[in-house]
Amino acid sequence: MSDVSAQDILTIRGVTKRFSVGDGELEALATVDLSIPTGEFVCMIGASGCGKSTLLRIIAGFEEPTTGNVAMYGKAITGPGSDRGMVFQDYALFPWMTVRENISFGPRQRQLPREEIARTANEFVRMVGLERFAERYPNQLSGGMKQRVAIARVLANDASILLMDEPFGALDALTREQLQNELLQIWKRTGVTTIFVTHSVEEAVLLADRVLVMSAGPGRIDSDFRIDLPRPRDVSSPEFNALRRDIARRLTSHLTLARIS
């Protein structure tokens, strides 16, 4: 009998990753075991170089693990797929396409009927609040708008897992706070399973159902914090700050160990 829960959308078993560097090897990920239930919002946090982005790329199918396997609903992930969508810090939009065209790219590639493509594009343009900017090009948009388009493009492609690699890291504090709130609204509305990489402990506690703390490289999941605070969350509350301190303490201990070693 399989040990995969019927509710788990993603299972990672014994995953490691090593890269060839010159005449040697770099171990990016030590053994990672993880299960993520459908609809959960998970944040991964850790020092630079701890393997967060590498693990995300393995889930996306952009990289193959050296050992172990990753499966979605029990089926092995062997490459990229429309069921998993990646949002990067640098947006990765097509500069020659309008907002509407960027969002409808996935449905067009899947050769859906023209009416369905238009309906899907309109739905997600509205969802991210860009109706007035639908015919503009990326170079005519602010950073926050570009990131909304990137999120909408993934969701319009009917992704079940939203993978986000420090998506708000380049934005100013006000825009970042606004997009955090909007992302939570989109997540509640769509139920999309979200895996979000960040360097910010506060951002992780604000957004996530679970916060995974990764050890300094080679990366492994050292701690798994359940965030049971009701939403919307008050960053000034004692409960919020107690969790933030616990996670920061765990993260800082890894940074200290990395410097010693």
CA distances (Å), origin 162, targets 86, 193, 215, 228: 6, 6, 23, 21
In a domain, 179, yes or no: no
169, 89 contact by CB (below 8 A): yes
173-190 and 143-156 helices cross at what angle (nearest 10)? 20
42, 226 contact by CB (below 8 A): no
Mean pLDDT over 252-257 rounds to 60
In a domain, 125, yes or no: no
Mean pLDDT over 92-114 rounds to 93
Tell me the whole-structure pTM to 2 decimals: 0.90
- Return the SS3 of 14: strand
Q: What CATH number is associated with residue 223?
A: 3.40.50.300
Instruction: Determine the distance from the C-alpha atom of residue 133 to the mean position of all C-alpha atoms in its chain, rounded to a whole number.
Output: 25
| Structure token digits, residue 236 | 């000034």
pLDDT, position 261:
44
How many domains in the chain? 1
Strands 24-37 and 210-214 come out as unpaired
Residue-range definition of the domain harbouring residue 33: 1-82+192-261
Lowest mean pLDDT among 5-9, 28-32, 59-63, 173-177: 5-9
162, 87 contact by CB (below 8 A): yes
In a domain, 261, yes or no: yes
Instruction: Round the average pLDDT of the chain to a whole number and report it.
Output: 90
pLDDT, position 3:
43
- Is the pLDDT score of 255 beyond 80? no
Taking alpha carbons only, the member of 204, 146, 144 closest to residue 171 is 144
For 193: left if phi > 0, alpha if psi spans -120 to 50, otherwise beta; the answer is beta
In a domain, 77, yes or no: yes
In a domain, 103, yes or no: no
In a domain, 148, yes or no: no
pLDDT, position 158:
86
Mean pLDDT over 232-248 rounds to 95
Residues 223 and 166: their CA atoms lie apart, in Å, by 20
106-148 per-position pLDDT tens digit? 999 889 999 999 999 999 999 999 999 999 999 999 989 999 9
β-bridge partners, 27: 18
pLDDT, position 13:
96
In a domain, 143, yes or no: no
With bands split at pLDDT 50, 70 and 90, how would you rate the model's confidence at 98?
very high
Mean pLDDT over 220-236 rounds to 93
Q: Which residues contact 123 (CB under 8 A, 6 or more apart)?
A: 156
Strands 8-21 and 24-37 come out as antiparallel
In a domain, 173, yes or no: no
pLDDT, position 256:
53
